[in-house]
Structure 1
Amino acid sequence: MNRSILHMDLDTFFVSCERLMDSKLAGKPVIIGGTSDRGVVSSCSYEARMFGVHSGMPIRMAKQLCPEGIYLRGTSGIYTKYSTLVTDIIRDTIPVFEKSSIDEFYIDLTGMDRFFGNVKLASELRKKIINESGLPISLGLSLNKTVSKIATGEAKPNNEIVVNAGVEKSFLAPLSVRKIPMVGEKTYKSLRDLGVKKIVTIQEMPVDILNGVFGKNGKEIWKKANGIDNSPVVPYSERKSMSVERTFDKDTTDDYLLKGVLMAMGEQLTYDLRKKNKLTACITVKLRYSDFQTFTKQAKIPYTAADHAIIPLILDLYKSLYTRRVRIRLIGIRFSHLVEGGHQINLFEDIKMLQLYQAMDKMKDRYGKKAVVKAAGIDVRTMRDFSSFKG
């Protein structure tokens, strides 16, 4: 029986989410990744790409290429919300799927052809996601993950491509070697130096030549170029940690600012824990100095999602970490050892504290995460300023 592997990728996911929140962004060159020159582009619209902007590019360079672009720092809560929505739609439809990133999925449809017709099933799932989320999404369907992923890239924006069994090599042949998933900038340059531009050239090369240049990766590149990939779809499981970081526009030694940012980040993460019905048992604080030396310290605690149990510990960890009078470039917090929260009554020390958090969370649900914050965090920017994204 031939395998049938579906790949789905939400198109310019962060930009698409922002456009759902603000329709005025439609058709505009939108760049996500921060507003300061020190940031990098996390995602950009197709309109911005026409100016030469791409993911991973310094914001400073993007502004030179596209000065009329709309630059947004990004909104982690919105992206998580829509990623979860799409994940739930897929989970309700498909028995086995892999979530490889916040906006990308592999789905194993092997054996389902006799019941539904895999092409029809894939197309209907895509339409369902578009209708229920409002987000554009593209798909590729083939015998394996590599060919399906490349097909999705060729299908974009907002379309679908099916590569039937037996035509994988001919489909891949005319494409640039840069389309091969494991070929990054360095490998691409090496291939170009060899005069290799199209996948067909790799298909016709003896694998020994590639092994001589790229070592053990040479064979993998050759196999992918020939549409050979037996890697399985790894069933999705919920993440075991959640984290947030902030890189400052200017390195700082302002203790009041640093503590305020940590408290605000801690509040946002504990709120997210409660919303997802999760508990954490391990807190990690991260500091990166202006000389790029990075230090972390963690502590284990009884399972909780309570601000009053977590935030004092965050501040204690920070105090024990910040031992050098050197400016801070980045701070971060990570919650790990996550488990389902069970009964909310068990999360907090007493019913009054539980009622307080329930009231605070209702306010945040209705008016946004900034609706209720500790006094020390009032002057600190919101969560959208803290996170750095990839996508």
Structure 2
Amino acid sequence: MRTAPTILHLDMDAFYAAVEQASKPSLRGKPVVVGGLGPRGVVATASYEARVHGVHSAMAMAHARRLAPNAAYLIPRFDLYRRVSETVMGILGELSPLVEPLSLDEAFVDLEAGGTTEAPREVAERVRARIRAATGLTASVGLAGSKLLAKIASEQGKPNGLVVVEPGTERALLDPMPVRVLPGVGPATGEHLRRAGIGTVGEVALAGESELVQLLGKAHGASLYAMALGLDSRPVVADRDAKSVSVEDTFDVDLTDRFRVRSELDRLADRCVVRLREAGRSGRTVVIKVRSYDFSTLTRSETLRAPTDDPGVVRETARRLLEAVDTANGVRLLGVGVTGLADFTQEDLFAQAAELEAELVAEAAAVRAAEQAEREAADPEGHPAPAAEPARAVRWMPGQDVRHTEFGAGWVQGSGVGRVTVRFEEPTDSVPGRVRTFAVEDPELEAAEPLPLVP
């Protein structure tokens, strides 16, 4: 443990939703939810205005819509989020050579390694101001002598706050907090501790290491006891390179319904892809983890032809893997992961889709040729062929960037029944823009690149 609060943890506030609000003047101060908009979609981020209604990340999008029906529901724009993240990480990189990104919107910084003579609080205030000026977004910062406490402190500072944990005050901060604040304490462990009469971090510390080892096992019990005392000697690692991305859930009641198991697996697959994209990565191998009612655990994996971060591909692969697993006696835990990670590229994202599309095009061409041959054989006099099927309609998604030849830049508010509604506004506008409706195939309307948040 350090004798000064020189480990900084920065967490952008409601990052995806905040980027959307910054780029869309009409949504500022309004509830915004970003994530998958399909029937199995999952919330990636909700603005603080949406969180008031109970919406939170990893929630099923259908549930979020019931809680906040008047919120704006938008697709994620990861290209824009990555550009903003690069700006933020560049600012952090000027503070120290030791910056450990955890995701697009979160990182640890070792200020001691930066050799600054400024007080840590002054450095934190300055970096928050620089990020606000460069992106228009707010960030919460925690400063402490360890990574554990710095992360807890930044969470306490949300939104748009700064919390400093001075040496010697760690227990005063931790003791009254619920035990779930500690890393590794999920719903199942939290419930296990609650049944033992342990509900706060202070009560974890009072229980003692031996009792925790009896309750949770040697490794978990000893780790939890150290964290309850505020002890954490993990260094900030600049070249942090994850080998895999995964998510898992333990269920309070074993799942026996096959449809429910598949639904939970779909939800986990979508959450896994959100984390994969946050890290700017793609992966080739999909892994599922299934723990049965008797605590026996098995994994199944499938390696794809190319790296992907497509939620549909990960979801369908996970389903195929599940088909080979007997879940009739009950499932206690499910997990979905992606390994064989690669740097995110546009080619990676569309590699499998392109291969599949090429196969389908070739198959369709063969079918058309066969049908034409049949028609010629059946009608040698060459009567006119039936009219071709109409072209497939353009699909516009809420939140998508567009440009109109007359009205300029805007974004899709919604579409349906052959019409698309667009709000024409730019990030620099001070008032909401006008709304106009077009035919979905209007030739003057086209998809566009996101505009920068700050000129």
Fold conserved (TM > 0.5)? Answer: yes
Name the count of aligned residue pairs.
Answer: 284
In structure 1, the partner of 2:3 is 2
Compute the displacement of 1:209 (Å). 1.3
Give the Cα–Cα distance (whole angstroms) in 2 for the partners of residues 180 and 241 of structure 1: 22
1:287–1:294 CA contact under 8 A, matched in 2: no
In structure 1, the partner of 2:212 is 210
Whether 1:142 aligns to 2:144 is: yes
In structure 2, the partner of 1:37 is 39
After TM superposition, list the pairs within 5 Å mapping 1:293-312 onto structure 2: 293=320
1:80-126 C-alpha deviation (Å, 9 max, x unpaired): 11111101111123221100111101011126677222221122112
In structure 1, the partner of 2:229 is 226
Give the Cα–Cα distance (whole angstroms) in 1 for the partners of residues 117 and 159 of structure 2: 29
Higher fraction of strand: 2
Give the Cα–Cα distance (whole angstroms) in 1 for the partners of residues 49 and 130 of structure 2: 26
In structure 2, the partner of 1:155 is 157
DSSP-derived class of the 2:140 partner: strand
Give the Cα–Cα distance (whole angstroms) in 1 for the partners of residues 60 and 236 of structure 2: 34
**Equivalent AA in structure 1 for residue 3 of structure 2:** N
Q: 1:27 to 1:227 in 2, by over 3 A?
A: same
Compute the displacement of 1:46 (Å). 1.3
Q: 1:228 to 1:147 in 2, by over 3 A?
A: same
DSSP-derived class of the 1:42 partner: strand
Q: Which runs of 5+ in 1 are unaligned?
A: 243-268, 274-281, 300-304, 321-362, 369-377, 385-391
Compute the displacement of 1:8 (Å). 0.5
Question: Relative contact order (C-alpha < 8 Å, sep 6+): which is higher?
Answer: 1
Q: 1:56 to 1:311 in 2, by over 3 A?
A: closer
Q: 1:11 to 1:312 in 2, by over 3 A?
A: closer
Give the Cα–Cα distance (whole angstroms) in 2 for the partners of residues 90 and 191 of structure 1: 38
1:129-170 C-alpha deviation (Å, 9 max, x unpaired): 111111110000011000010000000000100010111011
Compute the displacement of 1:185 (Å). 2.2
2:142–2:162 CA contact under 8 A, matched in 1: yes
**Match for residue 129 of structure 1 among 104, 128, 131:** 131
**Match for residue 355 of structure 2 among 297, 301, 315:** 315
Compute the displacement of 1:20 (Å). 1.4
**Match for residue 180 of structure 1 among 167, 182, 185:** 182
DSSP-derived class of the 2:56 partner: coil
Give the Cα–Cα distance (whole angstroms) in 1 for the partners of residues 22 and 87 of structure 2: 14
Give the Cα–Cα distance (whole angstroms) in 1 for the partners of residues 81 and 14 of structure 2: 11
DSSP-derived class of the 2:141 partner: strand
In structure 1, the partner of 2:78 is 76
Percent identity among equivalent residues?
A: 31
**Match for residue 284 of structure 1 among 286, 304, 307:** 307
In structure 2, the partner of 1:97 is 99
Q: Which runs of 5+ in 2 are unaligned?
A: 246-276, 282-304, 323-339, 361-402, 411-442, 450-455
2:100–2:109 CA contact under 8 A, matched in 1: yes
After TM superposition, list the pairs within 5 Å mapping 1:337-348 onto structure 2: none
Q: TM-score, normalised by structure 1?
A: 0.64
**Match for residue 85 of structure 1 among 79, 84, 87:** 87
1:76–1:383 CA contact under 8 A, matched in 2: no
DSSP-derived class of the 1:78 partner: helix
1:138–1:152 CA contact under 8 A, matched in 2: yes
Q: 1:65 to 1:112 in 2, by over 3 A?
A: same
**Equivalent AA in structure 2 for residue 71 of structure 1:** Y
Higher fraction of helix: 1
Q: 1:288 to 1:133 in 2, by over 3 A?
A: closer
DSSP-derived class of the 1:27 partner: coil
**Equivalent AA in structure 2 for residue 223 of structure 1:** A
In structure 2, the partner of 1:247 is none
In structure 1, the partner of 2:16 is 14
**Match for residue 108 of structure 2 among 94, 106, 109:** 106
DSSP-derived class of the 1:93 partner: coil
DSSP-derived class of the 1:6 partner: strand
Q: 1:115 to 1:174 in 2, by over 3 A?
A: same
In structure 1, the partner of 2:58 is 56
2:96–2:114 CA contact under 8 A, matched in 1: no
Greater C-alpha Rg:
2
